[in-house]
Amino acid sequence: MTIAGSRAVDELSLVRDVVMARAHEAVKATCQPWPRLRDTITVLLDEDESGLNIFRLLPHAFIGNKSEDAHLVGTVSRIWWTGAETLDDLIDGKAADHHGPAAALIASTACITLIPELVVRAEVQDITLRELLTAELLSTSLHSADGQIEDVGVLHSEEPWRTAMHAYAGKNGAAYGRDLVLTAILRREPPHRLQVWRRFGKLFGVLRQMVNDRAGLCTPDNEDFINGTRTLMLASAASVTDLTGLHARARTSVQARRELLALLFSAPVADVYNGKVHALRYKLLGLLEHLAPAPDRAALVRSLVDASTGAALMSAEVFR
């Protein structure tokens, strides 16, 4: 995966370090009366490798690396994602290092539901603005929870793409959309513009989840197959061929997982999926024109979209 221009990578990498430092300080300040919770969340922040993901710095890509608005949103987002990633690992049965699963569960729940609101209340003095921000945090967490619940289960033959897209818009897209809406609220964008920002963020989040799904196919454990995750690539394949039984067997059968993997990389199935990836890219670029950021910022955002598109595409050459 590449992003056009090393300057863009350098800028977002620098922002990432600033955001992580601010997240640590925010947890230290908000959790000062509760040292065990503070220490557990601090460990989770350090362990969460998703903090290296510069694609989650979308507000900074849009409005620049020195914006205090973007830094606040980035701080809240970093804490929220640490909770979401930790909870996802616990659901998948992964061990929690340096602390028990019970402590990790409690701390991750606080990261998702409580700490971000405390950070906003501490840093935003305008009451009306603060209430708009906290309402957005609450609704996004509920949307994400709904998407996570819908995400796991046996693939159904009726409207698989619509069902999977709805889940993706919640479990991953909602958080990206939230970050752009929070930024737009802080910058006092007109209310009618908020939904455009949200739509761009949601679709970009869906594209990023497609990147994660594609990368997961190159790992030996086939975790998504074992967990029965209803990915968009499976939903797309279901529009070409009936794979309901194969998807169900793949949870417990190594041979079924091999057959399913070969099917997903086969030309007829991969071509349909790649067409959907490109269609998503075109939608994002159309929204980008409507949002009309400064030319240098638009170029950076477009490079994030293009890099994500390339990483999401199915290529038979890498299938083994």
What's the Cα-to-Cα distance from 289 to each of 47, 95, 142, 208, 301, rounded to whole Å?
37, 44, 30, 20, 11
What are 14's two structure tokens? 């620098």
231-267 per-position pLDDT tens digit: 899 989 988 888 888 888 988 898 999 999 999 999 8
Q: What percent of the chain has pLDDT over 70?
A: 92
Pick the range with the lowest mean pLDDT from 30-34, 105-109, 150-154: 150-154
pLDDT at 319 over 60: no
Q: Any residues with CB less than 8 A from the CB of 213 and at least 6 apart, and which?
A: 224, 231, 232, 233, 312
In the numeric block, the tokens 């400064």 are attached to 294
28-83 per-position pLDDT tens digit: 999 999 999 999 999 999 988 887 889 999 999 999 877 889 999 999 999 999 99
192-203 per-position pLDDT tens digit: 899 999 999 999
Which pLDDT score, from 0 to 100, does residue 88 have? 85
Q: What angle do CA 230, 231, 235 make, to 5 degrees?
A: 85
Domain ranges, ordered by start, for the chain: 1-123, 153-320
CATH code matching the domain that covers 153-320, chosen among 3.20.20.70, 1.25.40.10, 3.40.640.10, 1.10.600.10: 1.10.600.10
157 or 207, which is more confident? 207
Which pLDDT score, from 0 to 100, does residue 151 have? 65
153-183 per-position pLDDT tens digit: 555 556 788 888 888 998 899 999 999 999 9
Tell me if 153 sits within 8 A of 230, measured CB to CB.
yes
